[in-house]
Amino acid sequence: MKLKTLSRSALAALLFAAIPFASAIAVTSTPAAQAQRLTNLQTRGTAEIDRRLASLNAALSKLNASTKLSKSDKDAVIAQVSDEAGALTALRTKLAADTDLATARADVAGIVTGYRVYALLLPKARLIATADRFALVEDQLTQLHAKLQAKVDSAKAGSQSVDLIALQPSLDDMAAKIASAKTATDGLVAKLLALQPSDYNADHTVLTTHRQSLAAARADIKAARDDAKRVIDALKAGK
Amino acid sequence: MPDTPPESNDTPRMPPPSATVEPFVSGGGPPPAAPEPPKRTGKVVTIIGLLILVAALGAGAYYYFNNGTTSNSNTTKPTPTPSPSDPDSSLEELDSSISDLDTDLSSADATLNDKQGDLSE
């Protein structure tokens, strides 16, 4: 028992006595440690920039090959993605040349907050392409509605045995749903294009709102499509 | 005195050598002229004609295999439009577009939910 207590006391004394030496070692190695931390930060930051550049270049390839986007929207999105890739490339060079830890820390933080590649730009490009597709579908629905209205009018004139009373409300509902979808998506591309990283930094739900607009338009489109199907089936049955 | 012997009816007479050969009947015209050398202009015209034919066939085949369009890989071929008076085909086209729309929305959602790496945003 005594021996145990004695050895514990000796170990404690030894550790206590070593404290000044440990402090001295820490103080003398600080510049080297800082240099290592700077190198680590630069390596990590460069890797993050490269990852973003790869994603942006992949997006650029897809955008250039896209035939669905309207030319003006395509040009605008490509310009934004290209600008961001250029700015990130410049930041990569700056980070590599940083000599102090504070500047490097700020540059690495800026990779996220200054560009918002994954949180804003890439989803924004996707949503713009989707919004363009909505415009296309809305146009198709409008044309189909015009055709069906002409058919119903013709059936009315020819006194065909179609339940015209039941068809017209479906056509009217179809027109209302198309109008509602158009209202939900109208100007959406311009709003999306205008979004900047600072907007996302201030409000992380900026894209969610626009996504909800598309969801509402999608529901309207489905309803309008079902109306059209109902009218077509009724016209077929009445022949 | 003449050199020729006097002729008598008893002496067999050989016909003159010219009488054994069939005489050439010329029909009264002049002798045929020597054959003319072949006309070069005719050959040239034939070759040019053949070349034009080959070129026309080649152009026709090129046009046919390029689907009636001038070959330009960057131009987008117009999508065939359904019969304007057929709501069924319009509905099919619409359904196809809506399907594409849903694919786009799914991609947009995937991108929105993509949290990447250590420096996730």
Which chain B residue's Cα is nearest to A207? B112
Band of pLDDT at residue B51, cut at 50, 70 and 90: confident
Nearest to A123 among B76, B98, B112 (CB): B112
pLDDT band (50, 70, 90) for residue B49: confident
User: Tokens 């085949």, residue?
Assistant: B61
Q: pLDDT at residue A148 above 90? A: yes
Q: Tens of pLDDT along B53-94?
A: 888 887 777 766 655 444 444 444 444 444 556 888 889 989
B19 CB-near residues (< 8 Å, 6+ apart): none
The residue ranking higher by pLDDT, A232 or A239, is A232
Out of A108, A117, A221, whose CB is closest to B98?
A221
* pLDDT the model gives residue B71: 43
Instruction: Select the highest-mean-pLDDT range: A32-36, A56-60, A66-70.
Output: A56-60
Angle (CA) A213 A217 A223, round 5° = 150
Nearest to A84 by CA among A46, A55, A41: A55
What pLDDT, on a 0 to 100 scale, did the predictor assign at position B65?
61
- Render pLDDT for A44-54 as a digit per residue (tens, 0 to 9): 999 999 999 99
Q: Binning pLDDT at 50, 70 and 90, where does residue B118 land? A: very low
Percent of chain A, pLDDT > 90?
73
C-alpha distance from B43 to closest chain A C-alpha (Å): 53
Q: What is the pLDDT of residues A78-126, one digit of tens each?
A: 999 999 999 999 999 999 999 999 999 999 999 999 999 999 999 999 9
Average pLDDT of chain A is 87
Tokens coding A75: 């040009």
Q: Is A232 on the interface with B (CB under 8 A)?
A: yes
| Mean pLDDT estimate for chain B | 67
**A67 pLDDT higher than 80:** yes
How far apart CA A66 and CA A43 sit, in angstroms, is: 35
Q: What tokens appear for B118 in the block?
A: 């250590």
Chain A residues within 8 A of B74 when measuring between CB atoms: none
Give the span between the Cα atoms of A96 and A101, in whole angstroms.
12
Chain A residues in contact with B97 by the CB 8 A cut-off are 133, 136-137, 140
**Is the predicted pLDDT of residue A238 greater than 80, yes or no?**
no
Please give the pLDDT value at position A104: 97
Q: What percent of chain A has pLDDT over 70?
A: 85
Note whether A64 contacts B: Cβ–Cβ < 8 A.
no
Determine the average pLDDT of the residues in A156-173. Answer: 78
Indicate the range of A56-60, A140-144, A187-191, A232-236 predicted with least confidence. Answer: A232-236
Which residue of B84, B109, B119 is in closest CB contact with A48? B119
Residue B8 has pLDDT above 50, yes or no: no
Min Cα distance A26 → chain B (Å) is 29
- pLDDT, average across residues A147-164: 78
Confidence of residue A145 (pLDDT cuts 50, 70, 90): very high
Of A118, A127, A235, the CB nearest to B116: A118
Q: Rounded to an integer, what distance in angstroms lies between the CA atom of residue A184 and that of residue A85?
A: 31
Query: Which residues from A are below 8 Å from B85, CB to CB?
Result: 147
